Structure 1
Amino acid sequence: MVHGYQEKRDLERTAVKIFIQIYNQNHDKKLRLLYQRERPDAVLQDSYHRKMGVEITHLFYDSEEAKMLLGRSKERVHSLEVIEMLIEELNKRIQTKEIKIDKYSTTYPIALIIRNASRAFGMSDILRAKELIYKPQGKFTHIWFISRDGTDEWLMKDLHEL
């Protein structure tokens, strides 16, 4: 269990670092990681010393792809993938995090970071299927979706803007 917890923390820290790098390249108000915790997953601080909490989740096509990417599967080939199934998983992630945030008591706003870890689909695939994406209920200030798109470069889009 400790190994799984540390792996989760490492994945979250990587997602936050990617997010901060992209955010800071595109905004005057710079962010930095203050600390990681459980509720929310991390707390950031902007250049005006204002705090922002972030919940972090990773999007995989399905559990088998997650096992393959995390080195826990002996499978080499994954089944045929369709974007609708990835969007369905994305929608579940958003809804689950919305339920989770209701239990938090913080004095600062909270955003959601979704890191697309699936190798099957990239940012352009998600944007082409934007009409299938669940419309968030306004519980998060932003829902930042970070993904690659056929290259090693990470891209970011606020799903509230779709």
Structure 2
Amino acid sequence: MKNDREKRALERAAVRIMIEIYNRNHDNKLRLLYQQEKPDAVLEDAYRRKIGMEITHLFYDAEEAKRLLGRSIDNIQRLAVIEQLIDVLNLRIQIKESKIQTYSNAYPNSLIIRNLSSSFGMSQILQAKDSLRPPLGKFTNIWFLSRDGSNDWLMKDLNRIWD
């Protein structure tokens, strides 16, 4: 099924970006062990400890997702407001937190959110952090991946932005 392959490819790309940034900044290196369901991927650290990774992608709206994935014939750019993207981000986190109890508890689980919206980058999201609903602490980390006006990916742990 094309959608399953595409979903797996998007998840693999997100986890590879996260690992690359993480490994650049930490001595305890991570590597992807395998992809699966619930959570989407399992990583291993340098001490051979497993870490589950649930992965989701952030789009401004369904039309932007279709356009960016090549499924829309509508090329009209609409006026975007940060509040709508923050609402979508809050909803993605809430949905993933509600599903975590169905994941393996043999290892800690983290969440990767890859921002694919072309409307807003990392700095706009962080400037609007007061509108973000604080996570419930169900994920060890909530790794937010986003660009910010360049092709380089940035990463921030949303569990720690209020520290």
Q: TM-score if structure 1 supplies the norm length?
A: 0.98
User: In 1, distance between residues paired with 2:127 and 2:76?
Assistant: 25
Q: Distance in 2 between matches of 1:71 and 1:103?
A: 32
Q: Is the counterpart of residue 120 in structure 1 residue 141 in structure 2?
A: no
| Residue correspondences, number | 161
1:71-111 CA distances to partner (integer Å, 9 max, x unpaired)? 00011122110000000000000000001111123210000
Write the letter of the residue equivalent to 1:53: G
Partner of residue 94, structure 2: 95
Counterpart of 1:23 in structure 2 is 22
Question: What SS does the corresponding residue of 2:53 show, helix, strand or coil?
Answer: strand
2:138 aligned with 1:145: no
1:137 corresponds to which letter in structure 2? L
Q: Secondary structure at the match of 1:102?
A: helix
Describe the SS at the equivalent of 2:144: strand
CA distance in 2: counterparts of 1:23 and 1:57, whole angstroms: 18
Report the counterpart of residue 50 of structure 1 in structure 2.
49
Matched residues in 1 for 2:107 and 2:7: separation? 24
Please tell me the root mean square deviation across aligned C-alpha atoms, in Å: 0.6
Q: Which residue of 2 aligns with 1:135?
A: 134
Question: Residue in 2 aligned with 1:159?
Answer: 158
Structure 1 residue runs without a partner (length 5+): none
Aligned equivalents of 1:49, 1:108: Cα separation in 2: 11
Q: Give the 3-state SS of the residue equivalent to 1:32 in structure 2.
A: strand
Distance in 1 between the 2:105 and 2:138 partners? Answer: 13
Partners of 2:42 and 2:107 in 1: how far apart?
Answer: 9
Aligned pairs (5 A) from 1:53-72: 53-72=52-71
| SS of the residue 1:57 aligns to | strand
Unaligned residue ranges in structure 2 (runs of 5+): none
The Cα offsets for residues 20-53 of structure 1, whole Å up to 9 and x where unpaired, read as 0000000000000000000100000001000000
In structure 1, the residue matched to 2:9 is 10
Runs of 4+ off more than 6 Å: none
Tell me which moved more, 152-161 or 102-111: 102-111
Partner of 1:106: 105
